[in-house]
Structure 1
Amino acid sequence: MAVLKKKALAFAALIALAQPVAAQTESSETTMSEFEISANMTATSQYRFRGLMQSNNKPAIQGGFDISHSSGFYVGNWSSSISWLGDADPNVSAPVEMDFYAGYSAPLYGDWTIDTGVLQYYYPGDYPDGFTSPNTTELYLGIGYGPVSFTYSHALTNLFGWADSKNSQYYDLSGQFDTGVWGLMLDAHVGYQRVRNVTDGSYTDWSLGLSKTWDNGITASLAYVDTNAERQVYTNRDGRNMGRAAAVFSLSAPF
């Protein structure tokens, strides 16, 4: 909480400095009220990304924050502990994933919404010579209708360490539906990862689960996650199939 408050105060100070000298206090407060800062922390039984294990079936700690403007523009960061890079190559030391993003989200018409932006996946660490960088930049465009959304992501760089994989794409169809029972939500997802120029690298992933959010903002979720990823392509050096089915439990809290 203290760290978040410091960030909020620093951001407020920058906004105040941007105002004309003759501006009144009321005007500054109105400008600041157009911004919203939110943050969260998550503990999960394991980290799965697009259906693939990122923490070798071990628990992960995650967290992030967003700064959004009433106009619909936003920026943010989300990070997680990982092990998949070291699981693939013992000479790699990269235990953290850091995602930086900026975009625009707004209603279109009726129940239709749009969300578009750019996302940078960053993996700080030590890599051997000749290792293809896993850092990835994607553009995304999402269209939502009520509880359902479809998002298209396009890689501007190589995709997560695959050589010569620029212009790979990911298609994501997701929905969240109120079950009407105990405040439980039904979470459903299916996605398709196309990996350019990688034989048998493309695959489909899907998940189905339940989640519940309490009045204090704490959310618990349990999901079944699976893929049809080719085992020979997505097996780490521990001999584990990164795309095999798993149950994932997560607990998140805002702060």
Structure 2
Amino acid sequence: MKFRNLCALSAALLSISFAAPAMAQDEEAKPITVSGSVGLVSEYRFRGVSQSDRNLAIQGGLTIAHESGFYVGTWGSNLAGWGTFGGANMELDLIAGYKKTVGNATIDVGATWYMYPKGFDNTDFIEPYIKVSGTTGPVTLTAGVAYAPQQEALGAWYATGADAAAGVYTNPGDKNDNLYLWGDAAAGVPNTGLTLKGHIGYSKGNKGLGPFATSVAPTGEYWDWLIGADYAIAGTPLTVGVAYVDTDITKEKAAYLQPSFSRGQDGTGSIAGAAVVFSLTAAF
């Protein structure tokens, strides 16, 4: 969080200090661009599952891109309950990749390193990805695949939630991989600030609980989906959003995960059930 704030402050100071000459160069292509956002969401859902115990989350990110197509970035959010991964209730992602436009399609290849500050190393994992997107009129379509190779964070250290509650590892040191496939669609409504959006994803990984009783693919295999809308407020950097989020993880499928896989981790209240998520984001 401090790193992102310092970067944002530095960018702001530079823009003020060099405002006059920059205005003359605005129309020219810049070799390096810096962009980012900070936002508030009613809850943080990662692939359909709440990582903030169905509570509010503050999130922010920063991306530095070079005209060659290479980019680096970082993104973070507060966590609670299931999503803490034994850390300091925070997720910090480091991202690097390369993006290139070929014909009408944009290909994006990179990797995300999911970190949980002050947690143990075996809760962090890296996940390479590839995305292909294209735009037709106001509609943008994206298809992606992310594959995380075998790592301890993705293993099944606990066979059941009861084992996790008792603090008894059934298979410590286990490693596994994880596959995530997804498709996104967004359509801007002409002459308005409104964008309609949709998402569907498929997870396939290890059925079980990893270190600190968490899992990227909680039931081993499941679907998640989202449908919603964003509205950009004219004359401001603000966007408000609303989305309906759900998964096909039923109470029966998640029964063996309890009490870890529930709000408050008390065995009641699913964190993978349907929810309406609200957001307010400021871009810079």
TM-score bracket for the superposition, by shorter chain length: 0.7 to 0.9
1:205 matched to 2:224? The reply is yes
TM-score by length of 1: 0.80
Amino acid at match of 1:6: S
- Structure 1: any 5+ residue segments left out of the alignment? 11-28
CA contact (8 A) 2:53 2:83 kept: no
Residues 1:98 and 2:92 aligned together: yes
Alignment match, 1:61: 58
Match of 1:140 in 2: 129
Aligned to 2:178: 168
Q: Could you say what secondary structure the match of 2:151 adopts?
A: coil
Q: For the residues of structure 1 that align with 2:12 and 2:93, how far apart are their CA atoms?
A: 20
8 Å CA contact 2:50–2:83 kept in 1: the answer is no
CA distance in 1, matches of 2:79, 2:279: 15
C-alpha distance in 2, partners of 1:149/1:86? 26
Secondary structure of 2:8 counterpart:
helix
- Identical counterparts, % of pairs: 32
**Structure 2: which 5+ runs fail to align?**
15-24, 157-173, 209-217
Sort the Cα spacing of 1:62 and 1:241 in 2 relative to 1 into closer, same or farther, 3 A: same
Other-structure match for 1:26: none
Asked if 2 retains the 8 angstrom alpha-carbon contact of 1:85 and 1:93, the reply is no
Q: How does 1:79-228 map to 2 (within 5 A)?
A: 79-85=76-82, 92-109=86-103, 111-126=104-119, 133-146=122-135, 147-158=140-151, 160-163=153-156, 164=174, 166-180=176-190, 182-196=192-206, 198=208, 200-215=219-234, 216-228=236-248
Letter of the structure 2 residue corresponding to residue 232 of structure 1: A
CA–CA separation in structure 1 for the residues paired with 2:219 and 2:232:
39
2-structure distance, mates of 1:233, 1:221:
34
Normalized per residue, which structure has more helix?
2
2:74 to 62, 72, 77: 77
CA distance in 1, matches of 2:205, 2:109: 21
- The 1:120–1:142 alpha-carbon spacing in structure 2 relative to 1, beyond 3 Å, is same
1:21 matched to which residue of 2? none
Name 2:164's counterpart in structure 1. Answer: none
Amino acid of the structure 2 residue aligned with 1:214: I
The 1:138–1:183 alpha-carbon spacing in structure 2 relative to 1, beyond 3 Å, is: same
Contact 1:138 1:157 in 2 (8 A): no
1:100 Cα deviation (Å)? 0.2
The one-letter amino acid paired with 1:195 is: G
Alpha-carbon deviation of 1:217? 2.4
Using a 3 Å threshold, how does the CA distance of structure 1 residues 87 and 102 change in structure 2: closer, same or farther? closer
What SS is found at the alignment partner of 2:55?
coil
Q: Which amino acid in the other structure matches residue 42 of structure 1?
A: G
Scaled by the length of structure 2, what TM-score is found? Answer: 0.72
For 2:211, the equivalent position in structure 1 comes to: none
Distance 1:246 1:142 in 2: 27
The 5 A counterparts of 1:1-80 are: 3-6=7-10, 33-80=30-77
Q: Alignment partner of 2:255: what SS?
A: coil
